[in-house]
Amino acid sequence: MLMLKSTLTALLIAAASSLTVSPAFASTKYPLTLENCGAQVSFPKAPERAIGLGQNSAEILLLLGLQDKMAGTAFWPSKVLPQLAEANTKVKLLSVEFPTFESILAENPDFVAAALPSLLGPSSKVAKREDFDKVGVPTYLSPSTCLSTKEVKDQYGSRAQLWNMDLLYKEIDELSQIFDVSDRGQALIADFKKREAALRASVAKDGKQLSYVFWFSSQSPSSDAYLGGKNGASGFIADLLGGKNAVTAEAEWPTLGWESIIAANPDVIVVANLDRNRWELDKPEAKIKFLTTDPAVSQITAVKNKAMVVMDGQAMNPTVRTIYGAEQVAEQLKALGRLK
């Protein structure tokens, strides 16, 4: 797993230890009211017992140095970022899977930040926003996952435009406002912007546009594959590296049979590494074994050229992990001579 740049570490340490706020970043004035995914959310003061519901929400709070303001976390497809491991030990883990509504309320939270609509939405497996409203707990859903379900009848929805990091920057900025740590938020955003620009500039513009398939997981080799959709974080990574997503579905998480994937014939297959181990094919080595041994699938251009790379599965969600994932893919493809 790639580490955050040392410059970010220095900036965050300085921000956390400083007794004064930089004039460029004024203190939050409470009550603070934000519009979030079609809802008005108000905060009378900075939260003291926040729940990070979903890995992205939890990791943003930890990156902002807010572990002492967190009452718990839940739903972790991957292990916490290594540089956050120590801070994360200070926060109670409710569940690596979907927690119950009751288990969240048992922690007496005063704020819940959620990463996905499956964790906080109309069809949530945990609770709806109105459930938290009834008990007086303000909620915040990642702007990157506020998607329409009109065209795609599942809780993750579809995305008509390519996701970009601006939505992540908005999330970091608004969470830092909620907790009155805007200086830390801006330091984090500045680091991500620098890394995004450096990565885009590092890819040779030689006219060669590689096509990618991002394989998250499958229940079994005979079942459909869960793939990163055309305009999601996977599509952003492909675009950042000068390529394109071979999957054309606008659904955030389309499922395709292997006949369709063979027909797409991608130049690169990115396989997710997941720590949850819900299914055997959560493991990257199991995915690669299937790709290289199945008589039909092994004829895909990416497999024949050994252009299969491993990426943190959480990076396929639009999260702080996405830029890490792009860096992982670029490093491996350059080592394989597939990317200049």
Angstrom distance (rounded) from CA 271 to CA 226:
11
Per-residue pLDDT at 126? 95
Q: Taking residues 101-105, what's their average pLDDT?
A: 98
pLDDT digits (tens, 9 = 90+) for 22-33: 445 789 999 999
Fold topology of 203-335: Rossmann fold (3.40.50)
Of the listed ranges 9-18, 228-237, 319-328, the one predicted with least confidence: 9-18
Output the six-digit token pair for 321.
């992990």
Angstrom distance (rounded) from CA 201 to CA 74:
36
Distances (CA, A) of 227 to 32, 208, 251, 289: 38, 23, 10, 18
Q: Taking residues 5-12, what's their average pLDDT?
A: 44
- Percentage, residues of the chain above pLDDT 70: 89
Provide the residue ranges of all domains of the chain, joining segments of one domain with +.
28-194, 203-335
pLDDT digits (tens, 9 = 90+) for 209-232: 899 999 999 999 999 999 999 999
Measured torsion, CA atoms of residues 302, 306, 312, 318, in degrees rounded to the nearest 10: -20
Do 12 and 6 form a contact (C-beta atoms < 8 A)?
no
Q: Taking residues 148-154, what's their average pLDDT?
A: 61
DSSP letter string, 26-57: PPPPSSEEEEETTEEEEESS--SSEEEESHHH
Angle between helices 321-335 and 182-202 (to 10 degrees): 20
pTM: 0.87
Arch. (CATH architecture) of 28-194: 3-Layer(aba) Sandwich (3.40)
Please tell me the chain's helix, strand, coil percentages from 3-state DSSP, rounded to the nearest 5: 40, 15, 45
Angstrom distance (rounded) from CA 195 to CA 172:
16
Output the six-digit token pair for 309.
């790379």
Per-residue pLDDT at 150? 65
Residue 1 — very low, low, confident or very high, per pLDDT cuts 50/70/90?
A: very low
Residue 13 — very low, low, confident or very high, per pLDDT cuts 50/70/90?
A: very low
pLDDT digits (tens, 9 = 90+) for 172-210: 999 999 999 999 999 999 999 999 999 999 887 665 789
Per-residue pLDDT at 26? 80
Q: Given this chain, do its domains 28-194 and 203-335 carry the same CATH topology?
A: yes
Q: Taking residues 66-72, what's their average pLDDT?
A: 98
Per-residue pLDDT at 149? 63
Q: End-to-end CA distance of the chain, in Å? A: 22
CA atoms within 13 A on the CB side of 89: 4
